[in-house]
Structure 1
Amino acid sequence: MDPFERVPLGRTGVTVTRLGMGLAPIGGLYSAVGDDCAMAAIDTAWQHGVRFFDTAPLYGSGLSERRSGAALGKRDRAAFTLSTKVGRRLAPGTENQAGIWAEPGKSVPVWDFSTAGVRESHRESLERLGLDRVDVLHLHDPDDHYTAAVTEALPTLVELRREGTIGAVSAGMNQSAMLTEFARTGHFDCFLLAGRYSLLDQSGLADLLPECHRRGISVIVGGVYNSGVLADPRPGASYDYRPAPPEVIARAQAMARLCDRYGVPLRAAALQFPLGHPAVAAVLVGMRSPEEAADAAAMAQVPIPGGLWRDLVSAWLLDPEVPVA
């Protein structure tokens, strides 16, 4: 499977490369990045063939959007696909967001899934990006805002799609249950599912993935390393943004040992695993530096024998229902 092949999202005319670049890290996630390193990371991803980029106002309170817009604005706009998110507007303020953003600015995110809020958030994102459009617009983490998301935000995204302002309607969450409810509305083209279809967590297989496959809705999978433990399963690694429990580290290490038998890095298996499901169009990998961008591109191209997936299932390290070669 070519990670730089462009595939459609749902039944839209929007296409993405199977490997996409998650732009939260260049917003200063956990540690400062700086403008030069952020630009170099995007440039390196581009040089390797990545043409799908995902950002959000939340990421560094607009810093990710500004940096990605500066890097991508010099490219042919028809040559890449860009997604951003609505549901959190930026308001004046300086308090750090739970300490996870290392380059705080002068604005903070405020929940807003109202019709006016969605339109204004979209407009503000275009200003920060310096671009005239985004291709995919996600409802961002509407877990505690279901009613507003369905009655106000979703109809607004549908209107924006009809107006031609965006190409695809989506929602991005760290859970599959609500996304499955959204799928049944018939209004979504794609979803961003973070951390719930990975080597360590296949919970999205129970509801969202089969529903999307039936309906022709594309799934973009984020969090393929589950915050880091699948990139380097050592004590102290992170799992879902928290310190990984010992049993999770042990499971990841068992997977790494099986991968070693096939000469496959665990990172390569973790990155490529979601693409085996027919509903999955692309994976997003966060990249904060040229080195991380080059590594992701390399891991996406490692040949993986079908026997590895079968052995992981036989060892009860993967759900027996996962599609394997």
Structure 2
Amino acid sequence: MRTTTLGGTGVRVTGLSFGAAGIGNLYRPIDDESAFAAVDAAWDAGIRTFDTAPHYGLGLSERRLGAALRDRPRDAYTLSTKVGRLLEPNPRGGRGDDLAHGFAVSDTRRRVWDFSADGVLRSLEASLARLGVDRVDVALLHDPDDHADHALREAYPALERLRAEGGVGAVGLGMNQSALPARFLRETDVDVVLLAGRYTLLEQDGLAAGVLPEAAARGRSVVIGGVFNSGLLTGPKPGAMYDYAPVPEPVLDRALRLKAVAARHGVPLRSAALHFPYGHPAVASVLTGARTAEEVRDTVRLLRHPVPAAFWDELRIEGLLAPDTPVPDDGTAPLG
């Protein structure tokens, strides 16, 4: 699988990354065996970049990912986690679940927002313990939407110091919006932005809002997550979800039109959605979540499905892509 260096760092990522929220019991529980099999399948497919966070399953994702990778050579893969949410004992925990936050785990712990310099260090120390490793390669500020100034003033400088001291190889932020990542790219020396749901076949806000142009101009990297827009592009239909809510009618109509064009070219809509982000030069990797080995293998099959240039041409003709939107010119995407 092809690899790319993040920004000006020495941290390399594979063109396809494994998102570990699913093995943290996202929406429904899975057992350890299924989680480990998913990581094994990713490894067998050539994926060597793995992303997790304390938020995912109240630490379960980190524990499972660390266990699944424990026997792999540490220098053979790139590991990313996030800061901004500390996990603390829940004084009222153990009697409920965490499904309000999307994870089918016991509520024995709770999340506490903390973008202080001390919070960053404590978060990473706890993550290393859960992962069972002595370092992570990438540290990302996680969803600082309502804490932008604090994150810029304290959390980011703490990450910058860690990078300078060799504690992490690359730093950045992961978000579901475009405005704040664009600001970080302008005002800081982040190496990478993990942008979820905002640069997809369905919508290209990350392009219009400046995230990808800023990254490209400054030699930084973008990792794209959420390419299916909350699952809408896996099978658009009334009642489908979009941005964690029922899909609005105009958005559904657009998704159905995309599906119709894909069908005319013999391309599964999911394949087109996976291929699309690779057209932009700032995109270093596409991050997809998986909870089972079959989901990993399905993603790889979809990426192997060629997407002809005529498909992208028709999207432009139909007004479903702006004329200047970059598209992939290599039908094999990142698989080589």
| Bucket of the pairwise TM-score, normalised by the shorter protein | over 0.9
Equivalent in 17, 21, 29 of residue 20 of structure 1: 17
Say whether 1:7 aligns with 2:10: no
Say whether 1:138 aligns with 2:140: yes
**Which deviates further from its counterpart, 166-175 or 258-267?**
258-267
**Which deviates further from its counterpart, 103-112 or 119-128?**
103-112
Aligned 1:213-252 pairs, distance under 5 A: 213-252=216-255
What is the number of residues matched between the two proteins? 322
The equivalent residue for 1:83 is 80
The equivalent residue for 1:32 is 29
CA-to-partner distance for each residue in 1:170-219, whole Å, 9 max, x for gaps?
10111111111101124111110010000111011011111110000100
Equivalent in 200, 203, 212 of residue 209 of structure 1: 212
Instruction: Give 3-state SS (helix, strand or coil) of 1:250's partner.
Output: helix
Pair 1:99–1:323, CA change in 2 (3 A): closer
8 Å contact from structure 2 (residues 13, 49) kept in 1: yes
Equivalent in 200, 205, 222 of residue 198 of structure 1: 200
8 Å contact from structure 2 (residues 27, 99) kept in 1: no
The equivalent residue for 2:333 is none
8 Å contact from structure 1 (residues 19, 300) kept in 2: no
Q: Within 2, Cα distance between the matches of 1:224 and 1:232?
A: 13
Equivalent in 21, 38, 42 of residue 41 of structure 1: 38
Q: In the TM superposition, what is the alpha-carbon distance from 1:41 to its structure 2 partner?
A: 0.8
The equivalent residue for 2:68 is 71
- Identity among equivalent positions (%) equals 53
Equivalent in 253, 256, 261 of residue 256 of structure 2: 253
Q: Within 1, Cα distance between the matches of 2:127 and 2:286?
A: 23
Instruction: Give 3-state SS (helix, strand or coil) of 1:113's partner.
Output: coil
8 Å contact from structure 1 (residues 197, 224) kept in 2: yes
The equivalent residue for 1:307 is 310
Instruction: Give 3-state SS (helix, strand or coil) of 1:102's partner.
Output: strand
Q: Within 1, Cα distance between the matches of 2:162 and 2:126?
A: 15
Instruction: Give 3-state SS (helix, strand or coil) of 2:260's partner.
Output: helix
Instruction: Give 3-state SS (helix, strand or coil) of 1:116's partner.
Output: helix
The equivalent residue for 2:104 is 102
Q: In the TM superposition, what is the alpha-carbon distance from 1:319 to its structure 2 partner?
A: 2.7
Q: In the TM superposition, what is the alpha-carbon distance from 1:257 to its structure 2 partner?
A: 1.5
CA-to-partner distance for each residue in 1:99-118, whole Å, 9 max, x for gaps?
52112352111100001110
8 Å contact from structure 1 (residues 268, 302) kept in 2: yes
Instruction: Give 3-state SS (helix, strand or coil) of 2:100's partner.
Output: coil
**Which deviates further from its counterpart, 252-261 or 141-150?**
252-261
The equivalent residue for 1:262 is 265
Q: Within 2, Cα distance between the matches of 1:91 and 1:104?
A: 13
Report the RMSD for the aligned CA atoms in angstroms.
Answer: 1.2
Equivalent in 157, 160, 166 of residue 159 of structure 2: 157
8 Å contact from structure 1 (residues 202, 319) kept in 2: no
Instruction: Give 3-state SS (helix, strand or coil) of 1:10's partner.
Output: coil
Q: Within 1, Cα distance between the matches of 2:203 and 2:195?
A: 12
**Which deviates further from its counterpart, 24-33 or 91-100?**
91-100
CA-to-partner distance for each residue in 1:98-143, whole Å, 9 max, x for gaps?
1521123521111000011100000000000001111110000001
Structure 2 alignment gaps of length 5 or more: 330-336
8 Å contact from structure 1 (residues 170, 191) kept in 2: yes
Deviating beyond 3 angstroms after TM superposition, the runs of 4 or more aligned structure 1 residues are: none
**Which deviates further from its counterpart, 257-266 or 217-226?**
257-266
8 Å contact from structure 1 (residues 97, 108) kept in 2: no
8 Å contact from structure 1 (residues 60, 105) kept in 2: no
Aligned 1:112-151 pairs, distance under 5 A: 112-151=114-153
